[in-house]
Structure 1
Amino acid sequence: MDAAEDLETLGEQLYSLIYPKHKENAGKLTGMLLELPGPVLNQMVQDKATLTAGVEKALQALQLAQEHSKGTCKDDDDVSGSSDSLGEQLFEMVDVYNTGHSHKITGMLLEQHKEAVLNLLSDPKLLEEQVNFALKTLKELNMEGTDISDTSDADDTERLGEKIFSLVEEMDPLHANDITGMLLEMDPAALQQLLSDHTLLEVAVQKAQAALDTQNQTLST
């Protein structure tokens, strides 16, 4: 119950933040964002830049869905030419749900007939159901693996740390170690979000840099 109440409170906070700029789509955008992990939602409520980045991704997905619902009656030739672009559009929409498995889930959905994929692009509710089903399937497959243990969690964190370090090093080689250490204090779900969204990563790195600057100034005075 508590979790449901927390989600409801977060939903109300997000809606009130989104509504002033996106009156028409505030409800839909809030609903899409509420599919994200709790720590990411908390971050969005507290940090304007994180919220803006999330809203922009959700808006792109909505626009794609609207375009496809208008364009599904076009000639099949229009669409058949580019299964690549279909895949890209589907990935953009799947990525909004921030499951941490966007590539795998997109691949699974693309195994369906083209008409079914087009239906997913034009029906966000249907897409959400398919994403949840694919995510459940992936989790079940992982549960059957033999390497699910505490050590695999440690390995996952280590792998996450390595990936984040390599990205942070490109932005700030001088402080890459310190910044990566600060970022690794975040929840794994939030870290996955940073890895899948370069804009969010940049925002997080800038915040860490600012914190380091403040720390250094305090030490030097």
Structure 2
Amino acid sequence: MDEEDDLETVGEELYSRIYPKHKETAGKLTGMLLELPGPVLSQMLQDEAMLTAAVEKALRALQLAQEPSRVTCREEDDVSVSSDSLGEQLFELVDIYNTGNSQKITGMLLEQHKEAVLKLLSDPKLLEEQVHLAMKTLQQQNEETDVSDSSDADDTEKLGEKLFSLVEERDPLRANDITGMLLEMDPAALQQMLRDHKMLEVAVQKAQAALDTHN
């Protein structure tokens, strides 16, 4: 219940700030902003510029949502609204949710059929569901990336082993040090080095020179 009470207090505070400039739409704008995460709302109440920006975004979204006829009532040629214009309108709406991933989420939503995208522009509730779904998908992708990062570590290890055996042929005594120095290079360069032994030779010589200077 505490959260509901807090939300109500925040809602009243927001409404009182929005009402002077947007009397007719204050209720709707407040409702839209209340969809944002709690910490964002708290920050918004302390930061006037942030609040103004959010209200402007919500206002644009409201105007877009109330004007579906602008898209549907034109002649056939015009109905093929350009993807760019759809993307811009959708981005404005998605950006209100302050996910930090507005660009990615907009791109994901634009992969749907044009009719579905138009429906999103005119149905805020549906849009909200789709944004949450897209956020979940992005989080899952991030988790998978974390897993693949560990496989990157395995790749580096294998790369190091291959590199070591080649370096050992050239400088058995300092193969460990030289391999360590080479592994600091870009992985793509290392892969190329494994294919091009001339390039490896040059890199080993540079590492040897550096070690000689250091010693």
Deviation at 1:21, TM superposition (A): 1.9
Identity among equivalent positions (%) equals 76
Deviation at 1:133, TM superposition (A): 1.4
Q: Distance in 2 between matches of 1:31 and 1:139?
A: 26
**Larger relative CO (CA 8 A, sep 6+): 1 or 2?**
1
Name the counterpart of 1:41: 41
Q: Segments of 4+ in structure 1 off by > 6 A? A: none
Per the alignment, in what secondary structure is the counterpart of residue 117 of structure 2?
helix
Q: Distance in 2 between matches of 1:4 and 1:118?
A: 33
Aligned-residue Cα RMSD (Å) equals 2.2
Q: TM-score, normalised by structure 2?
A: 0.62
Q: Is the 8 A contact 2:71 2:81 kept in 1?
A: no
Q: Distance in 2 between matches of 1:98 and 1:17?
A: 20
Q: Deviations over 1:170-205 (max 9, x none)?
A: xxxxxxxxxxxxxxxxxxxxxxxxxxxxxxxxxxxx
Report how many aligned residue pairs link the two structures.
149
Deviation at 1:147, TM superposition (A): 5.7
Q: TM-score, normalised by structure 1?
A: 0.61
Q: Does 1:105 align with 2:105?
A: yes
Deviation at 1:20, TM superposition (A): 2.3
Structure 2 residues not aligned, in runs of 5+: 149-215
Q: Deviations over 1:146-184 (max 9, x none)?
A: 269xxxxxxxxxxxxxxxxxxxxxxxxxxxxxxxxxxxx
Matches within 5 A, 1:183-194: none
Q: Distance in 2 between matches of 1:111 and 1:47?
A: 35
Name the counterpart of 2:22: 22
Change (3 A) 1:3 1:84: same
Q: Distance in 2 between matches of 1:65 and 1:27?
A: 16
Name the counterpart of 1:78: 78
Q: Distance in 2 between matches of 1:117 and 1:133?
A: 15
Q: Is the 8 A contact 1:72 1:118 kept in 2?
A: no
Name the counterpart of 1:127: 127
Amino acid of the residue matched to residue 31 of structure 1?
G
Bigger mean CA offset, 109-118 vs 63-72: 63-72
Q: Whose Rg is larger? A: 2
Name the counterpart of 1:32: 32
Deviation at 1:38, TM superposition (A): 2.3
Q: Distance in 2 between matches of 1:91 and 1:24?
A: 25
Per the alignment, in what secondary structure is the counterpart of residue 98 of structure 1?
coil
Q: Is the 8 A contact 2:71 2:79 kept in 1?
A: no
